[in-house]
Structure 1
């Protein structure tokens, strides 16, 4: 399930290192004396360290405590070292600059502090900071895809572009399709067999149904989802689904706060009953605050929303999950002015899932890398790193 998180707060003020700052040390070594009364040239050796081990330890502590403002403030205070040492000549002498590089790959870790951030603008600032540093080379590289091609997508066009019937790209009700139907048949068969053997399960079944109903009403199905996660095929499908949301949001330039795979953690963060990927679309938030929503922002949001369904269809040949994504899509269509008709909603859904399907197909290697990283329990920064590495190697 894809979720959005909108919030506003004062933007973080950037800081820059200065000669007196602890992040930039300057040491001058006197040059040896030269012979001759007319020569007063001195050579200065300028050592510049981006940070010390202790200071990077403070950065690690900020990441562990999920203190995004402090972690980002530290990175902004550390100027990147020059690519190579340079020598400057001046009237008073020569200056040799030697840069001590910061530990490689440490700046990625700031993304791990985004999960508890209340200010999504600060999360966006963290992604933009890394993108400006050249770390997130593919962040937002496909954001202009929403400007391309027609919007009319019939079921026939959808099949021609994806090779799948429209019914294969629609969420399924549990127990009516896929492997869940076999589980349901097996359960009903087992109950029937026990009843024929004289084992009365009516009281137990009534209690189970009552608990399931209460879970669905008050916890959004969290308990059932937690139990289902112990079934490997179900868990694998969730990973495929969420990796689709994650990769599409990343390529479309929407900052991701985190991917939640534990149903109880998702419940604590307001995502009831299942896993979820939280991303933020700054343009969409701004337009909604102004009382309008452009077609470009709406299309981008719909592509990310249907990316989980598209990912399942790409890997398994059909989608089972994504019912909540569809419900969220319908609720947003009703809020538009004027609201979309049923036929328009169906057409927009087909366009969105087709675009997401093709985008994930073009980046299939990156999607597999994201699934493996999520399956291994890696942090968000590592997952995004795996995506970047997969895209770079695929070139």
Structure 2
């Protein structure tokens, strides 16, 4: 066996640095191939197969070293004062209000009233005709509310928001990137995402969905159905549920989206029989843990958001995470 030292190398002998570069490049190429296979397996609906492929490459140098490798804070009871010392104001965190879509809805209502008045004068409508038109719109609004839980209205508002508000579009993208990144770093494989209500309607046939990220969560569901949810699974679910809200809070100072995430988490904790004190403790730990992980990997989240904004497949999104992480501590 030839041993190479110093700067002088016999012909055909690689330096340690060059050898590592070659190995890393080869493993990086293998990673891309495996991830493309993950896309294919996910499209076929084989979630177990996709997760197996990812776990086979998990933690290897040049492979998927970030999957499930998040450095987390110890789980204990944290007070509100401790959260504030870490720059977290929970009143701006856990009470999201969608100001953007609310403003769009108000503007549409004002335009509708002004349009009705203009039509009344322009077409010389009678009071009876105006009444019939008003009743017609009221019927359509009520039908949407009853039949689709307001899905058509939300679809219209969300489409307008993405079309005319870059801030709204960016907020939604960053929100979903937060869910995706935290899940991946905690060892939960994302399997798909949508960034608008229209995209959710086309891809999944879901009318009343603003945006969302789905995961390979059959292990979690099996635990829930068995009535034996492990602390590890609950911790992961809690952090992932709060990740979108946490991302918005860190970037914009206040969350607008994510009310359904918080409601879903609240429902789970209640179904598990958590007292208010125990639920508060679980949420406070998850808030601190999630915020600190996101702060530590802000550049990674930004790279992932760029990939998601370009509608890249899951493989490319994961590759964006692994590349952006570099040699930093996960």
TM-score by length of 1: 0.63
Q: Which one is further off, 367-376 or 294-303?
A: 294-303
Partner of 1:294: 230
Which residue of 2 is the match for residue 120 of structure 1?
A: 47
Distance 1:260 1:181 in 2: 21
Matched residue of 2:58: which SS?
A: helix
DSSP 3-state at the match of 1:230: helix
Relative to structure 1, the CA distance from residue 247 to residue 114 in structure 2 (aligned partners, 3 Å threshold; closer, same or farther) is farther
Bigger relative contact order, structure 1 or 2 (CA pairs below 8 A, ≥6 apart): 2
Structure 2 CA distance for aligned equivalents of residues 370 and 104 of structure 1: 17
Alpha-carbon contact 1:164-1:317 (below 8 Å) kept: no
Which residue matches 1:106? 33
Task: Name the residue aligned to 2:68.
Answer: 140
TM-fit CA distance, 1:380: 1.4
4+ runs of 1 displaced by more than 6 Å? Answer: 101-104
1:318 match: secondary structure: coil
Name the residue aligned to 2:94: 170
Residue number among 158, 165, 171 corresponding to 2:83 in the alignment: 158
Task: Decide which of 122, 131, 134 is 1:202's aligned counterpart.
Answer: 134
**Distance (Å, rounded) in 2 between the aligned partners of 1:275 and 1:380:** 16
Offset at residue 330 of structure 1 (A): 1.9
> How far did residue 379 of structure 1 move?
1.6
Q: Which has the larger radius of gyration?
A: 1
Is residue 229 of structure 1 aligned with residue 155 of structure 2?
no
Once the two structures are TM-superposed, the CA of residue 316 in structure 1 deviates from its matched residue by: 0.9
Separation in 1 of the partners of 2:220 and 2:288? Answer: 21
Query: Which residue, 230, 247, 252 being the options, matches 1:316?
Result: 252
The alpha-carbon deviation at position 240 of structure 1 amounts to: 0.6
Q: For residue 205 of structure 1, report the CA deviation from its aligned partner.
A: 4.1
CA gap 1:229/1:113 in 2 versus in 1, 3 angstroms = farther
Deviation of 1:324 after TM superposition, in Å, equals 1.4
Alpha-carbon deviation of 1:188? 4.4
| 8 A contact 2:93–2:246 mirrored in 1 | yes
Q: Counterpart of 2:43 in 1: which secondary structure?
A: coil
SS in 1 for 2:170: helix
Secondary structure of 1:172's match? coil
Contact map agreement 1:303 1:352 (CA 8 A) in 2 = yes
**Residue 345 (structure 1) shift:** 2.6
> Whose helix proportion is higher, 1 or 2?
2
> Which residue in the other structure is 1:333 paired with?
269
Tell me the TM-score normalised to structure 2 length. 0.74
- On the 8 A contact 1:228/1:235 being kept in 2, the answer is yes
Aligned residues of 2:307 and 2:320 also touching (Cα < 8 A): yes
Give the Cα separation in 2 of the matches to 1:191 and 1:286. Answer: 49
Q: 8 Å contact 2:175–2:243 — kept in the other structure?
A: yes
Change in CA separation of 1:217 and 1:295 when aligned onto 2, cut-off 3 Å: same
**Unaligned regions of 5+ residues in structure 1, if any?**
1-81, 84-98
Residues 223 and 104 of structure 1, relative CA distance in 2, 3 Å threshold: closer
Query: Which residue pairs with 1:352 in the alignment?
Result: 286
Q: Counterpart of 1:183?
A: 104
| SS at structure 2 position matched to 1:352 | helix
- Of the candidates 302, 307, 313, which is equivalent to residue 368 of structure 1? 302
Confirm or deny: 8 A CA contact 1:216 1:222 kept in the other structure: no
Q: Distance in 1 between matches of 2:266 and 2:31?
A: 45
2:155 touches 2:210 (CA, 8 Å); kept in 1? Answer: no
Superposition pairs for residues 53-68 of structure 1, below 5 Å?
Answer: none
1:248 to 159, 182, 190: 182
Closer, same or farther in 2 for the Cα pair 1:302/1:378, shift >3 Å? same
Report the Cα offset of residue 333 of structure 1.
1.1
SS at match of 2:191: strand
